């Protein structure tokens, strides 16, 4: 679907006309990311991160395929083959650093993309399906990133794999057999490394598939915008090409600049030194920490320190950690406010900026810190707020809050009332 | 319905957290933070500046050669350098003949071409540095039950790697009287050596660099313990990432190009949007 005023694809070259009859792929592209896709004119820079995420995914797949040509997924040589890539493969160090930091860049972009959605209510009707698919992509990304981190077979790879698969052992009765089945053994070893490599190669292509669905679902209602008011007329939109190609283009340049600054001058800053020590099942690192992008959820996992009635603390932590992400699936129905954008929701906005954002910041910090006081108590407070925000505050606030008046249309929000009237008179 | 359920689930998690927080807070109030010799006496690495530091950093080849000499004459007795081949040494400024001569100075595992039996032969540039011990058991037996770690990646495998190596090598000292007074049970055990830069303060490695002139530098530099420690730390930065210099040198043109591209992109963006208010 598209708006009635969307530009129509009219190939002029005979070959393109022939092509359009046989396989209208150019028409498809034209309508998806060309002049045939009308986009709200007022979307701000927070809307650039969808395209940036797509670029990150492409970058990860390309560098990953090259790395897989040189990497050996065998517990005996995996660590050495990674060092072989760093030292002997032509530009191998660039590929590996680009891939490792690319994962971090991808998560930076995706977290901004998700929080854009939280603030502007992008998950609300008619875009629930876009949101649901987005959460699926995020879950797939987490699984892929976790398995990718295991591949160099360093100390953190090994112990990370042990801790994360150990989470499943918290499930009553089937837990332990389930963990052994996942690992293919009693502890992470060659069987686990091999299947993680296989899945780490497979899942990115599954992500590509879900991304296609995500964008498809997006193109049915069209992009949301900072006012949260739906598109009403042609003056509300501009064609994706050239307007947003140009805007995304220069944003991409800036993003790549920052990414390369880290990649070339601080490539190990986001990693952990222990992963340059070969995996050793006999020696446990002093602090086992996952990569930074898992820290909020790791903090939630570790926040439950004592058994709660009949639920063991570990099971409680695992339940909470998975619930923390799975509850996002219910967001479109928990937040019942008809107003989408946080700009027009004064109460929601306060909870967002002074509640959710600080809680996430604390969770990020505490997830990377050792499991000691005061970090444990801090993460308990932040975790409690996290759940209260989504499960209690959102449903209640959205039914009692009085939103600010919305602009009549996107054009009015951009041009002001009088100019809008002038524009309509001129048309 | 879904909202009532959600509020109940939210309250359930919150109650469980209040429970954990409450018990934790009571314990914390009664016990406080753990107080151990490590938390009080462990020190962060000293400051060390190397030529390879910073975005314009380059290896000081003279220093790397000195560091290599320290590794070869001191560290190599116990520590392996698994990821480094003799051919790599040409990056330190040695010419082909010198690399061949260095390699030939090491005995590496080989096979007798006539009998097929395991033997040793003189090293060649394509060989990797040989391991000082046949296996972990031999390494433990010779080193007071501690395995000397491989040094190839040491500068990346510790926080603040090069400074850590330098601090550790120059950080041996007697246990402070205060430590013995407050933590009598933390007295350094037999065969161990007190070093505040080591995580648990007691290191199985005896001070390897003990006095001036232990290594006689071929470039005439005075080989104080401090100098040797700096040099070997610099050498280990190179062994951990021989491509470090190339990485930094590649980074600048890449950033320059991206900056140009971004400015160009911004100008195009301004141009395209010139007639559209947004």
B21 and B80 both lie in a single domain: no
**pLDDT tens column, A107-128:** 999 999 999 999 999 999 999 9
SS (H, E, C) B191-207: CCEECCCCCCCEECCCC
**pLDDT tens column, A208-231:** 999 999 999 999 999 999 999 999
Mean pLDDT of A196-201: 97
B76 and B140 both lie in a single domain: yes
| Helical H segments across chain B, by residue range | 2-31, 37-41, 61-73, 96-104, 136-142, 154-157, 161-170, 177-182, 225-240, 244-272
Q: Is A412 assigned a catalytic role?
A: no
Residue B89 falls within a domain, yes or no? no
User: Would the CB atoms of A242 and B272 count as touching at under 8 Å?
Assistant: yes
- Give the model's pLDDT for residue A87: 96
CA A86 from centre of chain: 28
- Give the model's pLDDT for residue A225: 95
Indicate if the pLDDT at residue B32 is higher than 90: no
Own/partner pairs, B76-80, CB within 8 angstroms, 24+ separation: B76/B129, B76/B132, B77/B132, B78/B132, B78/B133, B78/B139, B78/B142, B78/B143, B78/B148, B78/B205, B79/B132, B79/B148, B79/B149, B79/B150, B79/B151, B80/B129, B80/B130, B80/B131, B80/B132, B80/B133, B80/B148, B80/B150, B80/B151, B80/B152
Residue B46 falls within a domain, yes or no? yes
Mean pLDDT of B245-257: 97
Binning pLDDT at 50, 70 and 90, where does residue B31 land?
A: confident
- Identify all chain A residues contacting B278, using CB atoms and an 8 Å cutoff: 41-42, 238, 414
B170 and B223 both lie in a single domain: yes
SS (H, E, C) A323-383: HHHHHHHHHHHHCCCCCCCHHHCHHHHHHHHHHHHHHHHHHHHHHHCCCCCCHHHHHHHHH
Nearest CB neighbour to B2, from listed A254, A277, A333: A333
Mean pLDDT of B53-60: 95
Residues A241, A298: Cα–Cα separation, whole Å: 41
B152 and B256 both lie in a single domain: no
Percent residues over pLDDT 70 in chain A: 97
User: Would the CB atoms of A242 and B11 count as touching at under 8 Å?
Assistant: no
ipTM of the complex: 0.94
When mean pLDDT is compared across A10-14, A156-160, A167-171, the lowest value belongs to A167-171
The distance of A273 to chain B (nearest Cα, Å) reads 4
Q: Is A291 assigned a catalytic role?
A: yes
**pLDDT tens column, A58-109:** 999 999 999 999 999 999 999 999 999 999 999 999 999 999 999 999 999 9
**pLDDT tens column, B77-107:** 999 999 999 999 999 999 999 999 999 999 9
When mean pLDDT is compared across A142-151, A250-259, B9-18, B186-195, the lowest value belongs to B186-195
**Looking at chain A, which residue has its C-alpha nearest residue B23?**
A306
- Identify all chain B residues contacting A252, using CB atoms and an 8 Å cutoff: 265
B170 and B263 both lie in a single domain: no
Mean pLDDT of A260-267: 97
Angle at A281 between CA A182 and CA B150, to 5 degrees: 135
Q: Give me the domain span that covers residue B232.
A: 39-84+129-242
**pLDDT tens column, A350-388:** 999 999 999 999 999 999 998 888 899 999 999 999 999
**pTM of structure:** 0.95
B170 and B275 both lie in a single domain: no
- Identify all chain A residues contacting B157, using CB atoms and an 8 Å cutoff: 273-274, 276-277
Binning pLDDT at 50, 70 and 90, where does residue A421 land?
A: low
Residue B270 falls within a domain, yes or no? yes
B199 and B273 both lie in a single domain: no
For testing contact with chain B, the best of A236, A297, A308 (most B CBs within 10 A): A308
Q: Is A70 assigned a catalytic role?
A: no
B19 and B139 both lie in a single domain: no
Indicate if the pLDDT at residue A29 is higher than 60: yes
- Give the model's pLDDT for residue B39: 85
- Identify all chain B residues contacting A270, using CB atoms and an 8 Å cutoff: none
Residue B121 falls within a domain, yes or no? no
B17 and B44 both lie in a single domain: no
**pLDDT tens column, A36-53:** 999 999 999 999 999 999
Residue B18 falls within a domain, yes or no? yes
Residues B203, B167: Cα–Cα separation, whole Å: 13
Catalytic residue, from A236, A291, A335, A412: name it.
Answer: A291
CATH number, span A37-426: 1.20.810.10
Number of domains making up chain B = 3
B173 and B231 both lie in a single domain: yes
**pLDDT tens column, A281-337:** 999 998 999 999 999 999 999 999 988 888 899 999 999 999 999 999 999 999 999
CATH 1.20.810.10 residue ranges for chain A = 37-426
């Amino acid at each position: 679907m598209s708006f009635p005023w969307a530009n129509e694809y009219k190939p002029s070259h005979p070959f393109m006309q022939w092509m359009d009859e046989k396989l209208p792929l150019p028409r498809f592209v034209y309508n998806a990311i060309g002049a045939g896709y009308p986009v709200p004119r007022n979307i701000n820079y927070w809307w650039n991160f969808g395209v940036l995420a797509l670029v990150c995914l492409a970058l990860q797949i390309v560098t990953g395929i090259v790395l897989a040509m040189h990497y050996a997924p065998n517990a005996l040589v995996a660590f050495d083959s990674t060092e072989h890539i760093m030292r002997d493969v032509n530009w191998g160090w660039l590929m590996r650093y680009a891939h490792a930091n690319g994962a971090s860049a991808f998560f930076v972009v995706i977290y901004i993309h998700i929080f854009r959605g939280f603030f502007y209510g992008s998950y609300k009707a008619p875009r629930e399906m876009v949101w649901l698919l987005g959460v699926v992509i995020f879950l797939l990304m987490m699984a892929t990133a976790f398995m990718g981190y295991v591949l160099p077979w360093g100390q953190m790879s090994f112990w990370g794999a042990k801790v994360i698969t150990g989470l499943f052992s918290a499930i009553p009765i089937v837990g332990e057999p389930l963990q052994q089945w996942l690992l293919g053994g009693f502890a992470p070893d060659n069987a686990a490394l091999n299947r993680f490599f296989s899945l780490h190669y497979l899942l990115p292509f599954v992500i590509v598939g879900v991304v296609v669905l995500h964008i498809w679902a997006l193109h049915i209602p069209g992009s949301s915008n900072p006012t949260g008011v739906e598109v009403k007329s042609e003056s509300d939109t501009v064609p994706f090409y050239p307007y947003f190609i140009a805007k995304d283009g220069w944003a991409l340049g800036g993003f790549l600049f920052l990414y390369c600054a880290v990649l070339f001058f601080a490539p190990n800053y986001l990693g952990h030194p222990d992963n340059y020590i070969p995996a050793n099942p006999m020696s446990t690192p002093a602090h086992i920490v996952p990569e930074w992008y898992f820290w909020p959820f790791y903090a939630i996992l570790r926040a439950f320190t004592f058994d709660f009635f009949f639920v063991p603390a570990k099971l409680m932590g695992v339940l909470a950690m998975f619930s923390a992400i799975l509850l996002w699936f219910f967001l479109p129905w928990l937040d019942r406010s008809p107003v989408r954008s946080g700009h027009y929701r004064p109460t929601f906005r306060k909870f967002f900026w002074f509640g959710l954002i600080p809680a996430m910041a604390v969770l990020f910090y505490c997830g990377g810190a050792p499991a000691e006081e005061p970090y444990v108590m801090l993460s308990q407070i932040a975790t409690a707020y996290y759940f209260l925000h989504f499960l209690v505050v959102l449903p209640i606030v959205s039914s009692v809050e009085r939103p600010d008046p919305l602009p009549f249309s996107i054009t009015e929000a951009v041009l002001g009332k009088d100019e809008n009237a002038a524009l309509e008179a001129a048309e | 319905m879904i909202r009532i359920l959600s509020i109940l689930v939210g309250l359930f998690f919150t109650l469980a957290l209040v429970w954990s927080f409450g018990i934790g807070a009571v314990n914390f109030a009664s016990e406080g933070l753990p107080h151990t010799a490590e938390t009080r006496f462990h020190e962060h690495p000293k400051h060390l500046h190397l030529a390879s530091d910073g975005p314009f950093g380059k290896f000081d080849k003279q220093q790397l050669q000195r560091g290599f000499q320290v590794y070869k004459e001191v560290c190599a007795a116990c520590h392996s350098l698994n990821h480094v081949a003799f051919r790599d040494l040409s990056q330190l400024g040695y010419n082909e003949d010198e690399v061949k001569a260095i390699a030939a100075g090491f005995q590496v595992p080989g096979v007798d071409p006539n009998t097929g039996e395991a033997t040793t032969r003189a090293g060649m540039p394509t060989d990797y540095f040989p391991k000082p011990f046949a296996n972990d058991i031999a390494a433990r037996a010779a080193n007071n039950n501690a395995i000397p770690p491989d040094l190839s990646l040491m500068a990346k495998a510790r926080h603040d790697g090069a400074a850590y190596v330098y601090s550790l090598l120059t950080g041996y000292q007697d246990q402070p009287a205060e430590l013995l007074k407050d933590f009598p049970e933390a007295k350094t055990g037999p065969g161990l050596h007190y070093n505040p830069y080591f995580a648990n303060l007691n290191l199985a490695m005896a001070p390897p660099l003990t006095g001036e002139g232990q290594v006689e530098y071929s470039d005439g530099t005075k080989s104080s313990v401090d100098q040797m420690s700096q040099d070997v730390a610099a050498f280990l930065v190179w062994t951990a990432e021989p491509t470090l210099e190339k990485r930094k040198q590649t980074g600048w043109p890449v950033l320059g190009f991206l900056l140009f591209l971004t400015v160009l992109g911004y100008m195009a963006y301004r141009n395209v949007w010139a007639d559209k208010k947004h």
